[in-house]
Amino acid sequence: MTDAAPLAIETRGLDLWYGDFQALYGVDVRVRAGIITSLIGPSGCGKTTLLRCFNRINERYPNVRTGGVIRVLGEDIYDPSVSLIELRKAVGMVFQRPNPLPISVYENVVFGLRVHTPRGELKRAALDEAVEKALTEVGLWKDLKDRLHDRATTLQLEQQQKLCIARLLPLKPDIILMDEPCSALDVEGTRAIEELMFELRGRYTIVIVTHNMAQARRASDECVFLLLGKLIEHSRTADLFLSPKEARTAEYIEGRYG
């Protein structure tokens, strides 16, 4: 993996336990800023666990313990001076199934702004501008500009997932985490989300968990292969698929493991 670009995320010796079960073992990973990095590996290998370390969302579960260092945007996210609220503003997350709030499209987009801005400081014009900008950025403005007050849950699944991404943008995140964001979508929906990822790349650092090897190959700049909670290989996507350094990587991408 090249070190030419600055790092968005770095872990050193990262261990994680769910109670007595150790899910991650000494993971050292360096995620470069402004690119798309895929986390790949068989089910249960630790992909989603690793992804959720980057915004400390694992800590919502009982009996979770971590060891090692996680640095996001140059800061140790376990330093007492780091605000968990600010971390999760900077590191947004999109889940497997679209999860728009059961309110209007407009209110979905401005939800984070309303939560994080003191009452009375938000003007309607600023909210309107934020909605138009976020929906334009994810390619939904033309389709939804006359449906802003429709309930978000009435949208097509692809639109719902794009809306969930748009909901993050007014908070100006630096990093967007995606946990199998296309698993509930059809082929056309998957293509639309992948195209959106390419459009967002550069402005945001994107880390995606995927089980789909074809998706990882076509939609990411670098790949991280995990197996049984350990990082096996991290390289440019083309290099990993065409000339993997580890035999276990080759076995997995060729379908001979997991």
With respect to residue 26, please indicate whether it lies within any of the assigned structural domains: yes
Asked whether residue 189 is domain-assigned, the answer is: yes
Residue 257: φ, ψ to 5°: -150, 140
Residue 119 confidence (pLDDT): 77
| Predicted local distance difference test score (pLDDT) of residue 257 | 64
* Angle at alpha carbon of residue 120, lines to 115 and 121, rounded to 5°: 75
**160-190: pLDDT as tens digits:** 999 999 999 999 999 999 999 999 899 999 9
* 137 and 193 Cβ atoms separated by less than 8 Å: no
pLDDT given at position 247: 95
Range of the domain at 225: 7-253
Give every CB contact of residue 165 below 8 A, 6+ residues apart in sequence.
94, 138, 176, 196, 200
Residue 217 lies in a domain: yes
Report if residue 196 sits inside a domain.
yes
Write the DSSP symbol of residue 83: -
Q: Return the pLDDT at 2.
A: 47
Residue 1: inside a domain, yes or no?
A: no
Q: What are phi and psi of 216, to 5 degrees?
A: -60, -40
Q: Is residue 21 part of a domain?
A: yes
Q: Checking DSSP bridges between strand 175-179 and strand 21-32, what pairing results, if any?
A: unpaired
* Residue ranges in the chain modelled with pLDDT below 70: 1-5, 256-258
Q: Is residue 114 part of a domain?
A: yes
Residues 6+ apart with CB under 8 A from 45: 226, 227, 228, 229, 258
Residue 120 in domain: yes
Pairing of strands 64-72, 75-76: antiparallel
Of 166, 202, 217, which is closest to residue 40 (Cα–Cα)? 217
Count of domains in the chain?
1
pTM: 0.94
Which CATH number do you get for residue 137? 3.40.50.300
